Amino acid sequence: MTDSILFSPFNLGSLQLKNRIIVPPMCQYSAIDGCMQPWHLMHLGSLAVSGSALVFIEATGVEPAGRISPADVGLWDDVTQEAIARTLRDIRSFSDTPFAIQLAHAGRKASCRQPWFGGAQLPLEEGGWQTYAPSPVPFDPKDRPPQELDQAGLTRIISAFVQAARRSVDLGIDAIELHGAHGYLLHEFLSPLSNQRQDNYGGSLENRMRFVLEVFEAVYAEVAGKVPVGVRISASDWVDGGWDVQQSIQLSQALKERGAAFIHVSSGGLSQAQQIRNEPGYQLPFAQAIKEAVDVPVIGVGLITEPHMAETVVASGQADLVGIARGMLYDARWPWHAAAELGAHIDASPQFWRSQPSRLKTLFTNNIK
């Protein structure tokens, strides 16, 4: 067996990970009134026995108005909390894989149909709702303008993030990620394309970062010492004059100084004018730039589908961990197959021990005789 960096351990703050493979949040649009359903047990349960080091629960709305669609998972009251608790209780009966949760507010991109129904904004008469944003600028010109958040609204949303973080700790969640990417509310405050405010939350970079840092500080103060807290960012809007990697580096440094345990580096999602070069590893240069500039663990993502590519990412220092999202949906045993290809060991549930091919007798670490 070779010494694979991809299959070496890593720590995110106090959280010890068995390898460097992360399953990022992937919206399933299958909840009812914010509550997880049997689909989530099947989906997350399959990922929990995949051999990945950490599984993220999908973007979870901190208030009903913060959902992308009416079918998003939420965590804003006892009912939504119990739905997640029920799912995790079942999964933890057969897996010790750590779970993280991504706490989110969709901002002006809320109130939309599920993607397989087109993803367009829902009319109010069809179950849609008022959206909120830093400025009354819609994502799509055809959308209803979002309501500009006043101080009371900002305070309400910070409180919602804190309450959701508290509930996450009560659920036994192992790490918390704040969703500051993909054109949703926190990202909307960061980008000058969506933030046209004239107060202390708009204009300069310092002002545009203010709300994100206030949310982080409030959540961190609530859960510090209990679970690591990180942030997912879009490192670039892929639009001239928008949010870019240099601003992302400054944000990452500010987050690190405030206790961030990791930065999860994605890109895009804020503007329909984005020009993305969609190719394998297209977001990794952003992750590398942040990792080289800021002393904080970085998760790299972006069409990483091949084991040797993932190995190169961590071995070369482009990122500390790799996120395998769509690749895991296509192949829920991706870590097994990567370990086999890279000559590494991996843990597996005993129910699976007899599945390893004879040429891979020592693939499963906990079945080595």
Question: In 3D, which of 306, 326, 333 has the Cα closest to residue 46?
Answer: 333
Q: Say if residues 31 and 38 touch (Cβ distance below 8 Å).
A: no
Q: Catalytic annotation on 282?
A: no
Q: Which residue do the tokens 């067996």 mark? A: 1
How many angstroms separate the CA atoms of 200 and 266, rounded? 27
Amino acid at 263: I
Q: Per-residue b/e over 109-135, b at no fewer than 16 CB within 10 Å?
A: bbbbbbeeeeeebbeeeeebeebbbbb
Q: Which residues pair with 303 in a beta bridge?
A: none
- Candidates 184, 201, 220, 282; catalytic one: 184
Q: Say if residues 26 and 329 touch (Cβ distance below 8 Å).
A: yes
Sequence-distant (6+) residues with CB within 8 A of 76 are 34, 61, 62, 63, 64, 160, 163, 164
Q: Name the CA dihedral angle for 15, 236, 300, 205, rounded to a multiple of 10 degrees.
A: -30
Structure tokens at 29: 């649009």
Catalytic residues: 184
